[in-house]
A and B are shown apart, each in its own frame.
Chain A
């Protein structure tokens, strides 16, 4: 097989003349795409870093080591640590249920999974205020038991969970549908129970798709602004996540500090993108391995 992979790659590159465009069309299209990229992605990204370091490295370090900034970073990481594993678990469970079994209400479940994508994050935030706020549905109950959800960390976690829950499931459903359940059935006939089948057969097969979903989920959990903004209450050092902290700094005309924190987030985003690419590349390689029949 080792000899066959390059062969396949080669075959992919040499497309027949009939499906390619004339050289000038290709050149125009490519330069348009590159120009667009430069204008809307590279330029803003560079601007963030230039602005962040405008007043020198000392201001930069001071901005990101400020107690409020540190607490925002910590809170963001906490939210990520709580939401991503939960959503990964939920996503796998939902994809498993949807692709391997037939049950009543399956299509409704599929639709519900897409709900957070379909509605605005602001509404997602407001829903939780309506449910758990002081005048909300469970407001009195929560007040009596001295539990604070809205304008506190639990609310932020809930809102982020809601907004990021489709990522893993959406990534896995088509993958698992394409794979079918023949291997799982083989595992069952060989005497493996459901859990062993999942751990030894299903999970290895969906590994790359799952990681990809987790990375997207992670990126969104770090960056979520709208829904979190509604439920957070913007209490400095307590309920501010990184995006909220940036907004506050910006509104207070502390541009360098705002951009310093923003640059930190951009680095996280870039790292995520690189990870995402590595995973895509690995997954493609694996797929090719399987295609060589």
Chain B
């Protein structure tokens, strides 16, 4: 089912939680709402589910206006941040709940319900724990029960609020992959809320980056990661190095560096900031271009196959972070205290006045 969010706004008192949010989600897409806490992403999810009402705007499922339809009637699967499992029911009863509360006419027979619940428990690999209570399960198991429970009612839309927020790193990665596979198998239109950029980049078809109740950017993971449209998005999606400088003759002058910047003519002479990701910082032993600046290596740490290098620029008093593969690190024979030259491989220039952060 496709979801359309049209100009949705919501405020609590004088605090604007959401401002004119519009998103179009085609059937079967997996979308991440990504943003820092307080950016309004959970409120948006709750409005889509009907648990909260928007002050303005409309929610459409398959073109049908759902704005004033109650949660009960919306047929959405909702996975809560802290799972909200029914404490007094076993795993089996939790999953069966949505099937058992249907009006008598639509209800499946007891045997059918049992079959279906067992099938779902098989899907989430919890068959052996059907008789346990939520308090007897680990976090990852609870999360899977919550998913099975939501899927039991065959929702057309699956909404997940920080689905992996409370789990440890390993379980989180497994579940994330599992969710992706599940989605590819069932093609339920899904929206999940997260503050973890890695999670969003890893799982989603499309990412909606939100901040302060507004949408900053919508795009595929590649788009938002490689072509952020604002300093906020750049900053939020991964580490970043900043080069503060002034635009002169189409170049960003910063210390001894003159960095090629393709910006409009009007911005001549203005202050600007170049954003460079650590893995786009090129380290060289000799100065080969005007873009390169001398720097000293202050710290090297190896994490798996990547090497993180911390550098201190010699022209201006600033620190930089670079990331390079191990092979390259060996080829360059970098070591602590060494003097090298760095230049930004790929960068994006933003002029501060255009974006008030």
Q: Which of A186, A204, A290 has the most CB of B within 10 A?
A: A186
Inter-subunit contact B102/A191 (CB<8 Å): yes
8 pairs from A and B in contact (CB 8 Å cutoff): A182-B82, A183-B87, A186-B86, A189-B51, A190-B101, A191-B153, A192-B72, A192-B101
Stretch at the interface among B73-81, B172-180, B198-206: B73-81
User: Once the chains are docked, how many angstroms separate the CA of A201 from the CA of B102?
Assistant: 15
Inter-subunit contact A188/B82 (CB<8 Å): no
User: Once the chains are docked, how many angstroms separate the CA of A1 from the CA of B133?
Assistant: 9
Question: What residues on B are CB-neighbors of A293 within 8 Å?
Answer: 135
B135 contact from A185, A190, A292, Cβ within 8 A: A292
Cβ of A106 within 8 Å of any chain B Cβ, yes or no, is no
B88 contact from A185, A187, A193, A205, Cβ within 8 A: A205
Cβ of B97 within 8 Å of any chain A Cβ, yes or no, is yes
Smallest CB separation, A208 vs chain B (Å): 11
Question: What residues on A are CB-neighbors of B76 within 8 Å?
Answer: 189
B101 contact from A182, A200, A205, A289, Cβ within 8 A: A200
Residues 203-260 (chain B) with a chain A CB within 8 angstroms: none
Inter-subunit contact B84/A186 (CB<8 Å): yes
Question: What residues on B are CB-neighbors of A193 within 8 Å?
Answer: 72, 101
Inter-subunit contact A191/B75 (CB<8 Å): yes
Inter-subunit contact B82/A1 (CB<8 Å): no
Cβ of A196 within 8 Å of any chain B Cβ, yes or no, is yes
User: Once the chains are docked, how many angstroms separate the CA of A239 from the CA of B87?
Assistant: 47
Question: What residues on B are CB-neighbors of A201 within 8 Å?
Answer: 86
Inter-subunit contact B97/A182 (CB<8 Å): no
A289 contact from B71, B74, B133, B152, Cβ within 8 A: B133
B 34-57 to A, binary, CB cutoff 8 A, 1 in contact else 0: 000000000000000101000000
Residues of B within 8 A of A (CB): 49, 51, 70-72, 74-78, 80, 82, 84-88, 97-98, 101-102, 133, 135-136, 149-150, 152-153
Inter-subunit contact B101/A1 (CB<8 Å): no
What residue in chain A is nearest B132 (Cβ atoms)? A1
Q: Name the prevailing secondary structure of the A interface residues.
A: helix
Question: What residues on B are CB-neighbors of A290 within 8 Å?
Answer: 87, 135
Question: What residues on A are CB-neighbors of B51 within 8 Å?
Answer: 185, 188-189
Question: What residues on A are CB-neighbors of B153 within 8 Å?
Answer: 190-191
A186-B86, A190-B98, A200-B101 known; A289 vs B78 contact (CB < 8 Å): no
A200 contact from B70, B87, B97, Cβ within 8 A: B97
Inter-subunit contact A191/B84 (CB<8 Å): no
Question: What residues on B are CB-neighbors of A182 within 8 Å?
Answer: 80, 82, 84
Inter-subunit contact A1/B98 (CB<8 Å): no
Inter-subunit contact A183/B86 (CB<8 Å): yes
Question: What residues on B are CB-neighbors of A200 within 8 Å?
Answer: 97, 101
What residue in chain B is nearest A292 (Cβ atoms)? B135
User: Once the chains are docked, how many angstroms separate the CA of A196 from the CA of B99?
Assistant: 13
User: Once the chains are docked, how many angstroms separate the CA of A185 from the CA of B71?
Assistant: 9
Inter-subunit contact B72/A188 (CB<8 Å): yes
A183-B87, A186-B84 known; A191 vs B98 contact (CB < 8 Å): yes
Q: A185-B80, A192-B98 are in contact. List 6 more A-B contacts (CB 8 A).
A: A182-B82, A185-B84, A188-B51, A189-B71, A204-B88, A290-B87
User: Once the chains are docked, how many angstroms separate the CA of A256 from the CA of B93?
Assistant: 57
User: Once the chains are docked, how many angstroms separate the CA of A183 from the CA of B85?
Assistant: 7
User: Once the chains are docked, how many angstroms separate the CA of A193 from the CA of B106?
Assistant: 14
Residues 253-293 (chain A) with a chain B CB within 8 angstroms: 289-293
Inter-subunit contact B97/A187 (CB<8 Å): yes
A1-B135, A205-B87 known; A186 vs B78 contact (CB < 8 Å): yes
User: Once the chains are docked, how many angstroms separate the CA of A156 from the CA of B77?
Assistant: 52
User: Once the chains are docked, how many angstroms separate the CA of A289 from the CA of B135?
Assistant: 7
Inter-subunit contact B80/A190 (CB<8 Å): no
Question: What residues on A are CB-neighbors of B150 within 8 Å?
Answer: 189-190
User: Once the chains are docked, how many angstroms separate the CA of A292 from the CA of B87?
Assistant: 12
Inter-subunit contact B101/A186 (CB<8 Å): no
Smallest CB separation, A13 vs chain B (Å): 22
Question: What residues on A are CB-neighbors of B84 within 8 Å?
Answer: 182-183, 185-186
User: Once the chains are docked, how many angstroms separate the CA of A190 from the CA of B99?
Assistant: 8
What residue in chain B is nearest A197 (Cβ atoms)? B101
A 61-91 to B, binary, CB cutoff 8 A, 1 in contact else 0: 0000000000000000000000000000000
A189 contact from B77, B82, B86, B133, Cβ within 8 A: B77
Smallest CB separation, A49 vs chain B (Å): 41
Inter-subunit contact B87/A186 (CB<8 Å): no
Smallest CB separation, B9 vs chain A (Å): 20
